[in-house]
Amino acid sequence: MKILKDILKANKNKKILIMPIGLSGSGKTTLYSNLSKDFDIEYISFDKIRLDEFLKTGAKIKDKKELYKKAYEYSNKQKIKLLPIAKRKLKETKKNIVYIDNTNLKKKARNKFLYDAKDYLKIAVFFKPDKNLSIKRQFLKNRDKFVSPKVIKEQFEILEEPSLKEFDIIITKSKLDL
């Protein structure tokens, strides 16, 4: 995504928070993977936090989809509070660029991070929702985790578009950009 890379280069001495907003399977993690090739980024992912907490138990599961499923079940069963862990990572990072990899569907959920990032340039990357494409991507062999079509439809219903009251910059990404 050239425009985002150009913004990051032009603001390399500023603290920048990138918050992708989109359905599961819309390309949020893929965007991070692409950006991380060119930039040193603090990656804050609720999926990764769940996985890290689960792996502390000594679990050894080779199948990635099964591993993510068990990690999700474990974090729910143990009532692991993901938000405080994620916020601590934001507070403690020494890196200028932070990427909050979550669906970030609702304004209220986004504000929990944005409130703590007052001194950051806040960039939203809004993945225009394509429910059918997101569902289709769940069945790709190289996908780490599976999110049911029912959940994606629910995400579609509650998605709130970002506004300039929340963010300094909003970049909209359509399926044609992927």
Q: Could you tell me the residue ranges of all domains in the chain? A: 13-177
Q: What is this structure's pTM?
A: 0.88
Between 164 and 147, the more confident residue is: 164
The confidence band for 175, taking pLDDT boundaries of 50, 70 and 90, is low
Instruction: Detail the DSSP E strand segments found in the chain.
Output: 16-21, 41-45, 97-101, 121-127, 169-173
Distance CA 170, CA 3 (A): 11
Fold of the 13-177 domain: Rossmann fold (3.40.50)
What distances in angstroms separate CA 157 from CA 126, 132, 149, 152, one per listed residue?
A: 15, 13, 13, 9
Binned at pLDDT 50, 70 and 90, residue 178 comes out as: very low
Which helix (H) or strand (E) element contains residue 108?
helix 107-114
d(CA 110, CA 106): 6
Dump pLDDT digits (tens) for 26-50: 889 999 999 999 999 999 999 999 9
Share of the chain above pLDDT 90, in %: 66
Mean pLDDT within 154-174: 95
Give the pairing of strands 121-127 and 97-101. unpaired
